Amino acid sequence: MPELPEVETTVRGLARYLEGERIARVTLNRADLRRPFPEGLVQSLTGATVTSLGRRAKYGLIHTDREQTMVFHLGMSGRWRIEPETPDKHDHLVLETGSGHMLALNDARRFGSVDMVFTPGLYQWPAFAALGPEPLGEDLTAQHLAAAFKGRAAPVKPLLLDQRIVAGLGNIYVCEALLRAGIRPDKAAGAISRKAIDRLVPEIKAVLSESIEAGGSTIRDYAQPNGELGYFAANWRVYGREAQPCRHCGTPVQRMVQGGRSTFWCAKCQK
């Protein structure tokens, strides 16, 4: 499910149930996701009060009053289920708050992760230290991307999925941003003009912002027992639309595989 907008929407939804709340009970229903749950996770969280929530790239952050932050990643299939009416076999970690809310981290494929990190050193944590700039922040500039692309023979699309270059983009929004900027996904990154990069940066920010806004407007859905939080597929211009007309020019959308992952693009709009 989750790219940056989905994680952001998830965090905002969780905040309504967790911010200022004491965690009364933590239940682990298995020992691991992608990696084992951290040692002492239950003990670290139980009795702690959540001071605030946040997000870095595709990671959600649950800060506690013990200088410990629970860092979660949703992988491919992760989601939080709010007040689930019935347990699900993929509810791997369950939090119960002092005021009786129940929140279940559900992840069928278990590509996600949970870590507890010392809050004051959070951004020196190795996984975070390696991340590139937040795409919605001021650090993602055309200059930054131009420097990252310089001399690179690799196609631009897989490079934009590299979290060291931009932190938070995933397969869907990279496809969408490249379409909007009119850049071929298989163009060598180093061959992309500064002018095209100047178009790309605002389109990255726009597509992410629009998606967060759409998510925010349907945040009510998030609180439903099934915990579904969909992508806003109706707004996609190319992703998942092979052979359907490009929403800009009507030409059938193409699909190709790059690095083992599907890329959707328009041969007419993207040069």
Partner DNA sequence: ATAGTCTCCTGCCGGC
Partner DNA sequence: TGCCGGCAGGAGACTA
Q: How far is the CB of 163 from DNA (least distance, A)?
A: 5
Q: How far is the CB of 50 from DNA (least distance, A)?
A: 23
Residue 33 near residue 113 (C-beta atoms within 8 A): yes
Decide if residue 128 touches DNA (CB under 7 A).
Answer: no
Decide if residue 84 touches DNA (CB under 7 A).
Answer: no
Decide if residue 202 touches DNA (CB under 7 A).
Answer: no
Binding site per annotation, positions for DNA: 90, 109, 152
CB nearer DNA, residue 1 or residue 219: 1
**Two tokens, residue 245:** 């007309």
Residue 245 known to be catalytic: no
Out of 108, 206, 219, 223, point to the residue binding DNA (CB under 7 A): 108
Distance, in Å, from the CA atom of 266 to the CA atom of 253, rounded to the nearest integer, reads 5
CB nearer DNA, residue 21 or residue 91: 91
Distance, in Å, from the CA atom of 90 to the CA atom of 192, rounded to the nearest integer, reads 43
Residue 271 known to be catalytic: no
CB nearer DNA, residue 31 or residue 153: 153
Binding site per annotation, positions: 90, 109, 152
Instruction: Kindly name the residue from 5, 56, 58, 135 that is annotated as catalytic.
Output: 58
CB nearer DNA, residue 120 or residue 260: 260
CB nearer DNA, residue 100 or residue 260: 260
Which residues in the 36-65 window bind DNA by CB under 7 A? 57-58
Decide if residue 73 touches DNA (CB under 7 A).
Answer: yes
Among the listed residues 227, 247, 252, the one whose alpha carbon sits nearest the alpha carbon of residue 237: 247
Q: How far is the CB of 6 from DNA (least distance, A)?
A: 7
The residues that bridge with 254 in the sheet, in sequence order, are: 265
Q: How far is the CB of 256 from DNA (least distance, A)?
A: 10
Count CB neighbours of 244 within 10 A: 12
Q: Which residues of 59-88 are buried (b: 16+ CB within 10 A; e: fewer)?
A: bbbbbbeeebbbbbbbbeebbbbbebeeee
Cα 4 to chain center, whole Å? 3
Instruction: Kindly name the residue from 12, 187, 205, 261 that is annotated as catalytic.
Output: 261
Residue 2 known to be catalytic: yes
Q: Provide the Cα torsion 156, 157, 160, 163; round to 10°.
A: -120
Decide if residue 77 touches DNA (CB under 7 A).
Answer: yes
Residue 82 near residue 17 (C-beta atoms within 8 A): yes
Active site residues: 2-3, 58, 261
